Chains A and B, each alone.
Chain A
Amino acid sequence: QVQLQESGPGLVKPSETLSLTCTVSGYSISSGYHWGWIRQPPGKGLEWIGSIYHSGSTYYNPSLKSRVTISVDTSKNQFSLKLSSMTAADTAVYYCARDLDYGDSDYWGQGTLVTVSS
């Protein structure tokens, strides 16, 4: 059974950089697929942030590209998100997910709420 679990701070100060990690169990990241991040502001819709292929190729939301870095650590079976220059508009539940291809995300983490506030 594939499982994903997000971890990271629940509170980030404005202008700081958010760092989140997704730990995958039940499947080896190095075996394939894309691994992505999606967020959802409270009461609003889903926004795709970006994804990384198991080989390390990255794909980013054009509107967030200048602030986003996604990386993978196959030795720990984890992938990570860094989002810089955080503002209140970045307050959201952040999900990690396995993307089979073209956005078909079959397994998701439970999500972690990140609040941006001083």
Chain B
Amino acid sequence: QTVVTQEPSLTVSPGGTVTLTCASSTGAVTSGYYPNWFQQKPGQAPRALIYSTSNKHSWTPARFSGSLLGGKAALTLSGVQPEDEADYYCLLYYGGAQSHVVFGGGTKLTVL
């Protein structure tokens, strides 16, 4: 069974920069995994931030960016705001005969 791994928790100071990563148990994450990133705040449905590694939705703040870093998908927040405190989930696509997607376990980001 495929496992997608994220940092369980990270802490960042307001105005700082933080990078969240997303690894696959199958090996290095490439653009062919079409990494997605979602933000979820308590009591709310997830909100899509990044798709296909680095593409932003129209509502995604400019301080969020996606990339590939050292064999993992990465989400970088630059100039962190207090409202960025949330859970962040990555999602990877696995193609083939039984194509499916898998969520990472999520990263709880604390802004302190």
Interface residues, chain A, CB within 8 Å of chain B? 38, 45-48, 50, 59-63, 65, 95, 100-106, 108-111
Contact = CB atoms under 8 A, between A and B. Distances in A.
Interface residues of B, number: 26
Given A48-B91, A62-B1, A102 B100 contact: no
A48 B103 CA distance: 7
Contacts, number: 66
Q: Specify which of A46, A103, A106 lies most central, judged by the most chain B CB atoms within 10 Å of its CB.
A: A103
Interface in B55-110: 57, 87, 89, 91-93, 98-106
B52 A102 contact: yes
Nearest to A45: B106
Contacts of A59: 98-100
Contacts of B99: 59
Contact of B102 (A48, A50, A106, A111): A48
Contacts of B15: none
A45 B48 contact: no
B36 interface: yes
Which applies to chain A's interface (DSSP): helix, strand, loop or mixed?
loop
Interface of B: 1, 34, 36, 38, 40, 45-48, 51-52, 57, 87, 89, 91-93, 98-106
B48 A106 contact: yes
Contacts of A104: 34, 36, 48, 51-52
Contacts of A50: 100
Nearest to A109: B45
A23 B58 CA distance: 24
A76 to B, nearest CB: 22
B93 A102 contact: yes
A5 to B, nearest CB: 12
Contacts of B57: 106
Contact of B101 (A103, A106, A110): A103
Given A62-B98, A106-B48, A111-B45, A47 B36 contact: no
Contacts of A105: 36, 38, 46, 48
Q: Specify which of B45, B47, B92, B98 lies most central, judged by the most chain A CB atoms within 10 Å of its CB.
A: B45
